[in-house]
Amino acid sequence: MTTMPVSSGTRHLVVVNAGTSSPSSSRLIADRIAQATLEQLHATGVDAVLDVIELGPLAGEVAHAIVSGLPHGALVEAIGQLAAADGVVVSTPVYKAGMSGLLKAFVDVLDNDLLIAVPVALAATAGSARHALVADEQLRPLFAYLRALVVPTSVFAAPEDWADPALAVRVRRSATELAALIASGVRSTITGQSWDRYQHSWGGTMTGEASDAIDLDTDLMRLATGRGSPGPSR
């Protein structure tokens, strides 16, 4: 397996916003977390820049990728931004007690390896405090499956929370955790030293491996591709 390059210099923070309204409450909360993270990084002498992925304009490309299995257009650029990220803020509106379907569809088209050891802060917004646990009950296990490093504090905002000073406290706490992980270079430390010890997806974006590097003639791969197992040796 190809070893991941060790990151140095400017850190890249990426916001993934699943909100589609304008203005978007999920974008507003993501911006607060991102800005507080950048301020903390700059305060400790770490240079950092911000990119934003708006999923609304990518909905067509996401649907096409789910059906065809191949991303194209602006979706390829968005995936590239995530591949280069040193930290990510993910924010979703809550619909009918669940995360945005657009966010889940976007995650479904990502390689399983794309976010290994990437620090991630989670946020959600909703019209009712009844949905306050969506970030922890749905987003956290999703990004744990992708083997991202999810910060301990998630942020949720219902309409009554925006004027509450407690929201600013949660935002700052989440940003502090995210900034600390980004500044530590934890992604490069983990993937740079043990990338080949992970069980990677076939053709994963970050592996640097072509599909012809996969041995398709093993018994398991022959069964997986419907060619059956080889006959007994003579």
Tokens representing 195? 């990338």
Contacts of 6 (CB under 8 A, 6+ apart): 185, 188, 192
User: Is residue 119 pLDDT above 70, yes or no?
Assistant: yes
- Give residue-wise pLDDT tens across range 104-118: 999 999 999 999 999
Average per-residue pLDDT in the chain?
A: 86
Q: Locate the domains of the chain by residue range.
A: 11-201
Which pLDDT does position 197 carry in this prediction?
73
Which pLDDT does position 191 carry in this prediction?
84
With beta carbons less than 8 A apart as the criterion, state whether 139 and 227 touch. no
Which pLDDT does position 7 carry in this prediction?
45
**Concatenated DSSP letters of 61-95:** HHHHHHHHS---THHHHHHHHHHT-SEEEEEEEEE
Gap between the Cα atoms of 147 and 181, Å rounded: 15
Which pLDDT does position 206 carry in this prediction?
41
Which pLDDT does position 210 carry in this prediction?
36
With beta carbons less than 8 A apart as the criterion, state whether 215 and 7 touch. no
- Give residue-wise pLDDT tens across range 48-72: 999 999 999 999 999 999 999 899 9
Gap between the Cα atoms of 189 and 180, Å rounded: 14
Q: Confidence class of residue 227 from pLDDT cuts 50, 70 and 90?
A: low
Which pLDDT does position 44 carry in this prediction?
95
11-201 is classed in which CATH architecture?
3-Layer(aba) Sandwich (3.40)
Average pLDDT over residues 144-172: 97
Q: Confidence class of residue 230 from pLDDT cuts 50, 70 and 90?
A: low
CA neighbor of 75 nearest in space, from 86, 85, 88, 63: 63
User: Is residue 203 pLDDT above 50, yes or no?
Assistant: no
Gap between the Cα atoms of 73 and 58, Å rounded: 9
Which pLDDT does position 8 carry in this prediction?
53
Which pLDDT does position 221 carry in this prediction?
43
